[in-house]
Structure 1
Amino acid sequence: MIKGLFEAHLPVSDLNKSIKFYEGLGLEFDHKIEDRLAFLWIEKDKSWLGLWKTDKVELEYHPSIRHIAFEVSLEGLKDSVDWLINKGYTPRKAFGFEPTEPFVMPNPKEGFGHAKIHFNDPDGNSLEFICKIGNPKNITEKMYLSEWEKLNDSIK
């Protein structure tokens, strides 16, 4: 029945500033509704992000309500820290890892891991770039991506 995620929504304080921020990440603006809601394509005709202008953005962060993870390629993820910084965005510390490079959270039971880097939008909504990554050595510890690759010789 379910094939994927079609849309997700975030609260924002300045709709136009947020539209520019997300366009800077590569999302494509589609349309606005009454200067209170904007939609941007994450993947054209497949999934989009709704941004809702509100004065309630000070709502305390919790990943269940103010978090989106964008799937990227492994090569894109490897370049993500420099890419974000060059665009004026700031990667942030997450799960105890400094934002110097992506890190990996293993899922040894399933034989893979998730490589990721975290950052925030202008309203403090939590964002991440993430990709699934092989775990042929069945690693069980979290670590930086460069360490993961050294342990796993050839990751595809």
Structure 2
Amino acid sequence: MYIKEKKYIIVITVLVVIVLVTIWYFRVGYLLRKPEMPNANIEIQTQMVDGGTINLRYADYTENEIKVGYEVKGFSLKENNISCKLYNDGNLISTSGSTGGGLIELDEKHYYFVGIENIDENVLPDSLNLTVEIIVIPNDSGQKSIPASFNVSVDKERGA
């Protein structure tokens, strides 16, 4: 009996360790993974501006919204705000001027932003000559804002 009890204790101990490691991974380890930047769906456009880099990586246009994704390197969000405005053929189509869709912090001074503009009220053509204006706005009012503009053509995607 003594050997059989020993085997049960070993099996139970191994199962407890496996369960604890699994719980740790999903509670803590999963959160420790480094976030990844989403894949680009357009040819990446890059601008070097005042010690930093801004890359337009994503543009999507559907019945209800325009979504852009852009990478910002070299600017701290503690010292700067980031704004995004969208234009079609020079006409402003965004109202908020904010990123609105989310932020992925990739590293120190390295971010990926998603800008979303709902277009329920706007009547826009099936194809846009989109200008994406990304503005780095220093918190110090004595410094000038840093704009970067990108042009991309996007076609409206139809839902299935």
TM-score class, shorter-chain normalisation, is under 0.3
Q: Which has the larger radius of gyration?
A: 2
Higher strand proportion (structure 1 or 2)? 2
